[in-house]
Structure 1
Amino acid sequence: MVVYKTIDEANQAVVNKVIAGSPFLLDVVPAHTVIDEFNHGKLLLHAGPPITFDKMIDPVQGACIGAALFEGWADNEDDARQLLESGEVQLMPCHHVNAVGPMGGITSAHMPLLVVENQTDGNRAYCTMNEGIGAVLRFGANGPEVIERLKWMRDVLGPVLSLALQNREPLNVNVLVTKAIAMGDEFHQRNIAASLAFLKEMAPTIVGLDIEKDKKQAVIQFLADTDQFFLNVMMASAKSVMDGARQIQEGTIVTAMCRNGYEFGIRIAGMGDEWFTGPVNTPKGLYFSGFSEEDASPDMGDSAITETFGVGGFAMIAAPAVTRFVGTGGFDDALRISNDMTEITTTANPNFPIPTWDFQGISTGIDARKVVETGILPVINTGIANKRAGLGQIGAGTVTPPMECFEKAVLAYAKKLGFKGE
């Protein structure tokens, strides 16, 4: 076992593992085949730190109801809600089973999951696939069209992509990220280039599959239409790399950031699985016509794993086109945000140079000590959901964690090292 003489030395070791991470997309499989917890009764995974159903905000409860309908546990919304309120359905964070989920993050046994392996450390991570836009489960919608789309993803999209991935070499995610960051993606709010690069890689294999033509056409059309498809690949990839890095259980590097609509939670390397939480904030940004901040839901989702890895808001300078969409202004604002993020991170990751930043690599390794010392909070790009279930996305913006998450983590680690102060 390696003994690190200083916190800085331990932090550098964690960051080195992040930089050495090599995520590959291997397969798309039903969730219960890779997460054993699904095979022991009714279970739903959710985004963020642990939470009970009664504390979930309306969109997350709506997504839970949708998942119950999808799984056939109930025939209508009222019965599904009663089932969830009874406590018969276990609720567990995605992060507790090597997974991540967007927005509400609700994941059930028969939903297809992307399987990403970090070949550097041999660990795997999972994420549901992007549903597209409009009425979608991740924003709390649970109507018939939502359930039908989930069934199509289970019966067609997942199996076709699985078969395609089995008929080609594993997909090197780092290569796609390197390409797409040079084409204006930051991998949280903007994934257009990466999604098209993914389609470019997969389409020839899909076309050559010995399956019904209409299935091939439907899958290729869905991928072509879904600009944010790669976000979920990026989330699983970042999760796999950060989980590999947190095998070093020392230091103050942030290994996860996530939110469940009620609390924001972080983990740091030196404190293992322990969550440090605080009240979640509501994003600030731009709203679609007819909506305002009064309609906005508090922030939710595991997608901040992308910022933990060093993209998303941390790489805002890579995606000037996204700055107006999230309401941060223009190029100078993007530059300022990315420069600020260098103040709370350990180093630059040379694997992902940003042309608009004089080819500087993405900022990597959020140090909880630096967050507390500087007062600079991580900037997270995010979609904004309506506070009422089923009404979907109403805008986009940025959000920051509460400072108390980082203060609690630093204090806990100091006590672990023997510090006796308050």
Structure 2
Amino acid sequence: MTKIKELFAQKINAINLGTELFKNDLAKQGIPVVQVDWTPPAGGDIRLIKALDALKALEDKINEANQEAFNRYTGAQPMLVDIETALDFIPGMTKKTILHAGPPITWEKMSGPMRGAVMGALIYEGLASNGEEAEKLAASGEITYSPCHERGGVGPMAGVVSASMPVFVIKNVTHGNTAFCTLNEGLGKVLRYGAYSEEVIERLRWIEKVLAPALKKAILLSGGIDLRAMVAQAVHMGDEGHNRNKAGTSLFIRAIAPYLLQAGIPQEDLVKIVNFINSNDHFFLNLSMPYCKAALDAANGVPYSTMVTTMARNGTEFGIRISGLGTRWFTGPAQMIKGLLFPGFTEADANPDIGDSAITETAGIGGFAMAAAPAIVQFVGGTVDDALAYSNRMYEITIGENKFFTIPQFNFRGSATGIDLRKVIELGILPQINTGMAHKEPGVGQVGAGLVNPPRECFEKALLAFAEEYAK
């Protein structure tokens, strides 16, 4: 007791962990106090703590596997090599197959924008003549639905791909795998946001009949376009590869224009093609996404690796896949996006998070590279300081830094790359995503853009499954 009295007779300098209530009380009494921002590992969830502890014995093996997956990803060199028709290129594609964004889903559980996109695709394919017929066919059981990711591709927002649609073909020349994505339609009332009016269908047919054949000729003449180099340069020019693609689109025009001029395209079509790409700042998104997909697929399937290789949303659920767990999906509810809405819309109009475009964040760009694109805040909301903070925090949950995608604002430090499932759970830090917002009703289109995080639930499920698989 004497020792305790002696202790408290001395000048106290306190360090407080946890709740700030104790820190505030000490401060009110004039006692110097330092607040330590600490939370229990895994949020104090005993199941998750036990899983993390079980994996500690495998730490060296997991770290070695993660480095292998990371090296496979960063060593990938995806090239734009062709444009093909979905029916001809995609394995298992039929005239009554519809691919979509995110993890697997049935018609009954699809959100409004995805339903609208499916209906538009059925009208575009000539399988229905109007929305009513398309909706009936979509629900009939005659249509096969499958995630783009399970066929080797990606799709922005609703991500719908049907048989007649042209797709960019990306080849990872390092590892030999391929990826695909449709051609970007622009913003607003477009199929990927669930719109299916006559103007939407007409634009899709023009892309199929005019734009895609012309670009195919030009791409073949080019001998292939190095997308890794293009994305890296775009990041240095103020893009982050997800919601800001002004530089990437400009670089693509610069790269493809000479070959378009050599391709023997009628003058009238050539003018429309260049004007269409030039007026569509997001055109490059449909190249940055399959670039990321081709590179990350090379990193999938590494035993013992906790690296996240897929993050995708279907507007109802958010799903992730882990390298060491192969093609298994781990899902949770899609979250609501916070950001800037177009005039005339409110948060009540917006659908939950949707699209395969979070493949960019999975690859270390997008929300992970917002610091390189400070102007992005004018589109998704927040401040420049927020953008810097988001990118900086992602280093805490990743395996390494990307030697190709360097951020000028961080003195050319490589972007945080290779999400580590263990770190997400242990630290409670969720990946940062910036994205567009679709109207919750089919047929409307885009209503804004903003910021969102995945649900913690999908990472929790994945960690428990990983521990069950490897910590035996």
| TM-score normalised by structure 1 residue count | 0.96
Which of 338, 343, 353 is the equivalent residue of 2:406? 353
Deviation at residue 227 of structure 1 after TM alignment: 0.3
C-alpha RMSD over aligned residues: 1.3
Partner in structure 2 of residue 335 of structure 1: 388
- SS of the aligned residue for 2:93 comes to helix
Q: Distance in 2 between matches of 1:393 and 1:171?
A: 30
Partner in structure 1 of residue 340 of structure 2: 286
Ranges of 4+ aligned residues in structure 1 off by more than 6 Å: none
Q: Distance in 2 between matches of 1:13 and 1:64?
A: 38
Q: Distance in 2 between matches of 1:173 and 1:353?
A: 15
- The 5 Å alignment of 1:12-51 reads 12-39=67-94, 42-51=96-105
Q: Distance in 2 between matches of 1:211 and 1:392?
A: 32
- SS of the aligned residue for 1:74 comes to coil
Which of 284, 292, 299 is the equivalent residue of 1:245? 299
- The 5 Å alignment of 1:127-138 reads 127-138=181-192
Q: 1:174 to 1:354 in 2, by over 3 A?
A: same
Q: Distance in 1 between matches of 2:225 and 2:296?
A: 19
* 1:250-277 CA distance string (max 9 Å, x none): 3110000000011000000011000000
Partner in structure 1 of residue 10 of structure 2: none
Partner in structure 2 of residue 308 of structure 1: 362
Any stretches of 5+ residues in structure 1 without a counterpart?
A: none
Deviation at residue 29 of structure 1 after TM alignment: 1.1
Which of 444, 457, 460 is the equivalent residue of 1:391? 444
Q: Distance in 2 between matches of 1:408 and 1:416?
A: 12
Deviation at residue 79 of structure 1 after TM alignment: 1.0
Partner in structure 1 of residue 247 of structure 2: 193
Q: Which letter does structure 2 place at the counterpart of 1:9?
A: E
Partner in structure 2 of residue 10 of structure 1: 65
Partner in structure 2 of residue 104 of structure 1: 158
Deviation at residue 393 of structure 1 after TM alignment: 1.3
- SS of the aligned residue for 1:255 comes to strand
* 1:266-303 CA distance string (max 9 Å, x none): 00001100000001101111111222211111110000
Contact 1:4–1:10 under 8 Å retained in 2? no
Q: Distance in 2 between matches of 1:83 and 1:64?
A: 10
* 1:358-389 CA distance string (max 9 Å, x none): 10011110001100011110011100111122
Partner in structure 2 of residue 373 of structure 1: 426
Which of 221, 230, 249 is the equivalent residue of 2:275? 221
Partner in structure 2 of residue 178 of structure 1: 232
- SS of the aligned residue for 2:83 comes to strand
Contact 2:301–2:324 under 8 Å retained in 1? no
Partner in structure 1 of residue 29 of structure 2: none
Q: Distance in 2 between matches of 1:128 and 1:144?
A: 19
Which of 284, 288, 296 is the equivalent residue of 1:230? 284
Contact 1:67–1:107 under 8 Å retained in 2? yes
1:78 corresponds to 2:78: no
Deviation at residue 328 of structure 1 after TM alignment: 2.1
Q: Which letter does structure 1 place at the counterpart of 2:151?
A: V
- SS of the aligned residue for 1:37 comes to coil
Q: Distance in 1 between matches of 2:306 and 2:156?
A: 25
Deviation at residue 234 of structure 1 after TM alignment: 0.5
Q: Which letter does structure 1 place at the counterpart of 2:380?
A: V
Contact 1:14–1:253 under 8 Å retained in 2? yes
Q: Which letter does structure 1 place at the counterpart of 2:80?
A: L
Contact 2:242–2:366 under 8 Å retained in 1? yes
Partner in structure 1 of residue 221 of structure 2: 167
Deviation at residue 169 of structure 1 after TM alignment: 2.0
Contact 1:264–1:402 under 8 Å retained in 2? yes
* 1:64-88 CA distance string (max 9 Å, x none): 0000000011111111111111110
Deviation at residue 4 of structure 1 after TM alignment: 9.9
Q: Distance in 1 between matches of 2:460 and 2:187?
A: 37
- SS of the aligned residue for 1:405 comes to helix
- SS of the aligned residue for 2:284 comes to helix
1:209 corresponds to 2:263: yes
Q: Which letter does structure 1 place at the counterpart of 2:401?
A: A
* 1:200-247 CA distance string (max 9 Å, x none): 011111012213111111111111111000011000000000001114
Any stretches of 5+ residues in structure 2 without a counterpart?
A: 1-57
Q: Distance in 2 between matches of 1:87 and 1:319?
A: 44
* 1:331-359 CA distance string (max 9 Å, x none): 22111101110000011011111111110
Q: Which letter does structure 1 place at the counterpart of 2:141?
A: G
Deviation at residue 168 of structure 1 after TM alignment: 1.3
Partner in structure 2 of residue 406 of structure 1: 459
- SS of the aligned residue for 1:115 comes to strand
Q: Distance in 2 between matches of 1:407 and 1:231?
A: 30
Contact 2:304–2:470 under 8 Å retained in 1? no
Q: Which letter does structure 2 place at the counterpart of 1:224?
A: N
Deviation at residue 25 of structure 1 after TM alignment: 0.4
Q: Distance in 1 between matches of 2:60 and 2:237?
A: 41
Q: Distance in 1 between matches of 2:433 and 2:74?
A: 21
Contact 1:23–1:118 under 8 Å retained in 2? yes
Contact 2:214–2:260 under 8 Å retained in 1? yes
Q: Distance in 2 between matches of 1:247 and 1:406?
A: 17
- SS of the aligned residue for 2:402 comes to strand
Contact 1:283–1:298 under 8 Å retained in 2? yes
- SS of the aligned residue for 2:379 comes to coil
Q: Which letter does structure 2 place at the counterpart of 1:118?
A: N
Q: Distance in 1 between matches of 2:432 and 2:378?
A: 15
| TM-score normalised by structure 2 residue count | 0.86
Percent identity of equivalent pairs: 49
Q: Distance in 2 between matches of 1:357 and 1:85?
A: 50
- SS of the aligned residue for 1:38 comes to coil
Contact 1:47–1:302 under 8 Å retained in 2? yes
Contact 2:195–2:442 under 8 Å retained in 1? yes
- SS of the aligned residue for 2:137 comes to helix
1:270 corresponds to 2:298: no
1:260 corresponds to 2:303: no
Structure showing greater Rg: 2
